[in-house]
Structure formats: C-alpha cells, structure tokens
Amino acid sequence: MTIVKKASVSLVKITDYDSEKIHNALETCLLNLGGIEKLIQPRSNVFVKINHLSPPSLPEKAIVTHPLFTRGVLCLLKQLDVNITVGDDIYSKEEDGFLISGYRQICDELGVRLLNLKEAGFQEVRCKGELLEKIFISPPVLEADFILNLPKLKTHSFAIFTGAIKNMFGVIPHGLRHRYHREFIKNDVFSQMLVDIFSCVPPHLTIMDGIVAMEGEGPSAGNPKKVGVIIASKDAVAVDAVALKITGSNPMNIYTIQNAHERGLGIGRIEDIEITGENIHDVEVRDFKHSTIAIGLFKRKLPSFLYASIQNQLTFIPEIITENCTVCLECVNICPLDAARFKEDSVRIEKSLCIHCLCCHEVCRYQAVKLNQRPLGKMIRRVSSLYEKIVSLFT
C-alpha cells in the first residue's frame, strides 16, 4: 500500500495589523503546530527571512512583509533563549534601505539584529538542482540553526505567484538574481531555478503575511487586497498551496509549487494537506485578481511546441509611462541587457533588446511601467480566466 505524505498547515483569521490582534493570532497559529517553543531549540541561531523587495517602499503598499507582522513574530522569538537575525539582500540608493519600510525602527526597538545580506558577503554552495550546480548564499543563512521564512502573499507578473518558495530567492546576491533573470527567460524555467535555490536552504518554519496581500500585477505594481489570514507550516510548499487555494487558483498550476512537489520538497496538492484552525472555504477570496499571465492550465493541456507558441503570444511588452516616471533610474539600473535606457531626459525601453523578464516592472514604485499585451494573448487570457472560473464552481 502506498503511503501518501501529508502536510499540516495552520490557518488563522485576522482583520488588520493591530499589534494585539497579531500577537493573539500568531500564538493561536503556532499552537496549532505544537507551539513555537517545541519547534525551536534553546540557544539556536535563528535567521528570519523577510520579503523586503528593492527598492524600499512603505508597508501600506503591500510590497514588503508588513513590519508590524514581523514585530509580532519577533516578540514571540524574544521569549525564547535564541539569537535572532532578520535579513534580506536589498539594493537601495538610500544610506539605510530599511528605514522607509519601518524595519530599522522595529528591530532597533526590540534590540534585534537587522542585516542587509550583502554586508555579510556570500559563500559558494554546491547545488544539486535541475538547472544550477552552484550558487552563492549569505553565511548568516547557512550558519543558522533555524530558518524562519516570513513571505508576503503576492502575485507576480512573471513567476505568477510570490510566496514562501520564491522568498528564498533573496538569500543570493542581487547581481546573481539579476543574471538569472537574464538567463532564464521562460517563466516555467525561471521557476525551476527558484526551486533549485529553495532546495539548498529549505526553511524550518514558514509564517505567511496574508493579512493584506497584493493582487494584480505584483510584486510591486499590483494593488493591496484584504485577505485576512495568517498561514503557517513547517512545509513551505504547503503554505504556498493553501495561499493559492484561498485566492481562487489551483496550486498545481503554479510552476514553483508543482516543481517543488514533484521533487519531494513539500506538499503542493491541496487534498494532501491537513488544515487546522479555520475552514479554508470560510476564508476564500472569490474576487482575488491574479496576474493576467496566470494561465498554467495551457501547459498541461497542450503539446510543448504549441505551448511555446502560445507563451510567446502571452509575453508582456513593457513600456514607460512618461507622465508617471520620476526618472529614478531604478529600471535602468536593474535591466539585465540595458534595454531600459536614459535618453534625452527620459527613460525608454528598447524593444529589440528586451527579454521580457519584467525586472523594470518589478522595481518601479510609481506604476510607470505599463505591461502591453498582444491581441491574441489577451484573447487567450480571457478564455483561460473563464475556464478557471467554471472549474472553480465545481471544485
């Protein structure tokens, strides 16, 4: 008889970022998993991986893991005999990239070390991945006894979804992330790369900030959306799967979840996940808007050669909206092939050089990068969206 692996996920409702509500919700959430003191050994070095997208932004934009959410987690950790480091690798022109988001103030208040990972350097690590043979990871992550993953529930215009798996992309250098955007230009291949990195540093515990999520064209140009949940598990893949189910999508249509599930790195099938706390149907958000590229259905229904043609039609073409552009040059600095260029007092994107990685869209805080769609791509997305809505009525 085949034994099916199961994952346990704790799901708790919460309405806003009130500190007392966060504390109570987190305590309940972690008690469902046995209690945080049972998960972390005394005197452990704990690395807390936040989602702090570059460039820095205000927490109400729903781009970063909310600092008050992280503060609630840190307060629980402070009750234990552990050494805490909070960190992410961020690129910022500011002297302190953690000030705008409020992270510096929160960590200073609690006396917790807050680290931009580039300050500690990076160490080469062998990677037995599908695409990567070696990567560079920050030593504080490698040396941690316990990795606590605090992702934000967000959409992503290239990878479709940003969550627990993709959050670990931030433990490698900014320059290497830049390079991988240039090398892995298909979203399914890019997702395999993300899972390769995740496999090298799988977190011991994941607690997702789903109180206010981001919908639409995330991870930075979407819109805040109240979802009102905290999702926690020792299985990061299962956290992502539950988040996708709550927001109305089939988790196994997301490449990172499917790939990690197939490699045995976690449970991605919602029917193999035991949920404690809230009933998942009571917290589902029926009107949640995913990125318009979220059409994983086609890859599973069409031959690979035909899927490749369709994916080409679905490719977004970025364009600068001049009236919104502040000429901050973040898109110019991050573009892997210098397709985003500053010319004659304005920024333009050279379409002949663009590889459609959407890095420019990801870093723009001013909604100055428009994602244009081909006519056939628009039609395919409408058909896919209608199909998914019909399927969701019977599942």
Per-residue confidence (pLDDT) for residue 315, from 0 to 100: 72
For residues 278 and 302, state if they share a domain.
no
Per-residue confidence (pLDDT) for residue 239, from 0 to 100: 98
The CATH number covering residue 208 comes to 3.40.50.11440
Domain edge (last residue) among 282, 307, 326? 282
Per-residue confidence (pLDDT) for residue 391, from 0 to 100: 57
172 in any annotated domain: yes
302 in any annotated domain: yes
Spatial distance between the Cα atoms of 312 and 347, rounded to a whole number of angstroms: 25
Domain count, the chain: 2
CA dihedral for 6, 15, 153, 84, sign (positive or negative): negative
75 in any annotated domain: yes
292 in any annotated domain: no
pTM for this one? 0.86
Per-residue confidence (pLDDT) for residue 395, from 0 to 100: 55
For residues 147 and 214, state if they share a domain.
yes
Per-residue confidence (pLDDT) for residue 297, from 0 to 100: 44
137 in any annotated domain: yes
The CATH number covering residue 344 comes to 3.30.70.20
| Backbone phi, psi, residue 117, to 5° | -60, -25
For residues 223 and 353, state if they share a domain.
no
For residues 170 and 223, state if they share a domain.
yes
Q: What are 9's strand-pairing partners?
A: 275
For residues 249 and 325, state if they share a domain.
no
For residues 322 and 373, state if they share a domain.
yes
pLDDT profile of the chain (395 residues), mean per 10: 77 98 98 96 97 91 97 98 97 87 98 97 95 97 98 91 96 92 88 97 98 92 95 98 95 94 97 97 93 55 53 76 92 88 90 84 87 72 63 58
365 in any annotated domain: yes
Classify burial at 133, counting beta carbons within 10 Å of its beta carbon; exposed 0-12, middle 13-18, buried 19 or more.
exposed
User: Which domain, by its residues, includes 352?
Assistant: 297-393
Residue that is written with structure tokens 């110019």 in the block? 332
Per-residue confidence (pLDDT) for residue 386, from 0 to 100: 66
229 in any annotated domain: yes
For residues 305 and 236, state if they share a domain.
no
Q: Long-range contact list for 350-357, CB < 8 A, 24+ apart?
A: 351/317, 354/317, 354/318, 355/182, 355/185, 356/185, 356/315, 356/316, 356/317, 356/318, 357/158, 357/181, 357/182, 357/185
For residues 188 and 301, state if they share a domain.
no
For residues 196 and 329, state if they share a domain.
no
Domain edge (last residue) among 224, 251, 282? 282
Half-sphere exposure of 75 (CA within 13 A, CB side): 16
For residues 264 and 302, state if they share a domain.
no
Domain edge (last residue) among 223, 250, 282? 282
For residues 277 and 309, state if they share a domain.
no
For residues 268 and 378, state if they share a domain.
no
2 in any annotated domain: no
